[in-house]
Amino acid sequence: MRIRALALALATLAGFAQAAPDDPGLEAAVKATYLYKFADYIEWPAGRFSSPADPLTLCVAGSDAITALVDAAAAGRTLQNGRPIAVRHVALAHERDCDILYLAPRREESEQEALREVRGQPVLTVSDGPVVGNLHAVIAFAVVDNRVRFDIDLDAAAQNRLAVSSKLLNLAVRVRPKL
């Protein structure tokens, strides 16, 4: 009897859960900050950067609370090795020359399409939450214990010829191993 009442309550909760829009704020700001800080813990294939002054290109595709903040977050920042950061807002299917590509949530097909587009390219893909479908971003933000953390997909990293530092792996909530 009690169990049934609880089940009903849960079903009601689930039903109501659909209606809420994004609540930007600190969470989005933390994620926007992560986007360029990840670069300190990723090794791109040799020759990707021609000189220390060659900027890291941080691309964002689509629009959400994170893409709205990424320019301000990266403004005036460099990587720990002094490399400058260039932010670009890119359209779908034009994710060329990106070192980091953040995919704002959108329809499943277009996410898969974007990931397929950069597959094998030395691009650190990042998604907000898990991507639905066969292809995964290298890093997917995950909120755990009311903190912004992330999952790392080493298979996706290997496909894009990226090496992920152990420090970043230690911070990850879940690590999907190389297949």
Which residues are at the interface with other proteins (CB under 8 A)?
A: 2, 5-6, 9-10, 13-14, 16-23, 25-27, 29-30, 32-34, 37-38, 40-41, 69, 72-73, 77, 105, 129, 142-149, 151, 167-168, 171, 173-175
Of residues 92 and 142, the one with the C-beta less far from other proteins: 142
- Looking at beta carbons only, is 117 or 155 nearer to other proteins? 155
Query: Virtual CA dihedral for 48, 83, 174, 32, nearest 10 degrees?
Result: -120
Q: Are 60 and 23 in contact (CB under 8 A)?
A: no
Query: What's the burial of 31, exposed, middle or buried (CB within 10 Å: 0-12/13-18/19+)?
Result: buried
Q: Which CB sits closer to other proteins, 148 or 158?
A: 148
For other proteins, the closer of residues 98 and 139 by Cβ is: 139
Q: How far is the CB of 50 from other proteins (least distance, A)?
A: 26
- Least separation, in Å, of the C-beta of 61 and other proteins? 18
Which secondary structure element, helix H or strand E, spans residue 27, and what is its range?
A: helix 26-37
CA dist 40 and 43 (Å) reads: 8
85-90/56-61 β-pairing: parallel
DSSP 44: P
Q: Which 3 state secondary structure label does DSSP give 19?
A: helix
Residue that has been written with the tokens 């890291």 in this structure: 56
Which CB sits closer to other proteins, 93 or 171?
A: 171
